[in-house]
Amino acid sequence: MALVNMTGMLQDAKKGGYAVPMFDVINSDMTRAIINAAEEKKSPVIVAYEEPTEPLSPLEIFTPALIAEAEMASVPVAIHLDHARSVEFVQKAVDNGFTSVMMDSSDETFAINVEKTRKVVEICKSKNITVESEIGHVGGNEGYAFNAITEEELEAGYTVVSEAVEFVKQTDVDALAVAIGTIHGVYTREPKLNLQRLRELNEAISIPLVLHGGSGLSEDDFKNAIKDGIAKVNIYTELITSAMKATKANADKEYSEICMAVQEAIKGVALRKMELFGSAGKG
């Protein structure tokens, strides 16, 4: 199927009642593991890159490898820029061949969030690049710095339905990340999803909804969120945790063997998520 944008795959997921997994990757080992899993499960997949990855894998150097993996894949693969903080970095990703982007100004005022997102939509629409944004705010570790978050702060960040409707209307985004009780990074307490809020958002908004902070949720949490309207789920922390465990377990082996063990561990996580999210067999 090769390289695609996110729009079609997410619309299909929304209609079909499943979710497409998105995996943040920081190197070619992770990318290979994710693509292998997607091909084995015949699942569409989204491979994502964040700006903090630049020191390890500079965008201009890493992107051609991502695109090559996607173009050779037997399933649909979108190359996504996750959590962009500036319009300038979005432009950089667009210029280098990304097929979808996320503009994240969710911690700014509503007006600034709309302004930045509209600029990104203007850049991307004519190029057939999918645009995701966020309204409400999913806190925690977004790859920049870990921010401890209290229960009160979590609830204060929930997506407000009326604001979400107005945001979509003013920006014309293709997908919307919503805050319903998840956090980025490692959970320090059991997450409690506000599924009622999710159902209200799904009824009010026609575009696909996205769940960030997916690592650490239970299987029932995922199933319920997908049933109530989530069409894309972001996973990263669980990948890194599995990679670290595999590295420690194989520390006495040669480096190439450690890399292969890490790939298998990451692939295992991806395989399980594709089955759980219902995307297996949809590619």
Active site annotation includes 221 = no
Report residue 280 as tokens.
Answer: 């297996």
Instruction: Round the CA-based radius of gyration of the chain to a whole number and report it.
Output: 18
Please state, in angstroms and rounded to a whole number, the distance separating the CA atoms of residues 20 and 30.
18
Please state, in angstroms and rounded to a whole number, the distance separating the CA atoms of residues 38 and 162.
36
Of the residues 12, 24, 29, 82, only one is catalytic, namely 82
Burial class (CB in 10 A: 0-12, 13-18, 19+), 61: exposed
Please state, in angstroms and rounded to a whole number, the distance separating the CA atoms of residues 128 and 174.
11
Catalytic residues: 82
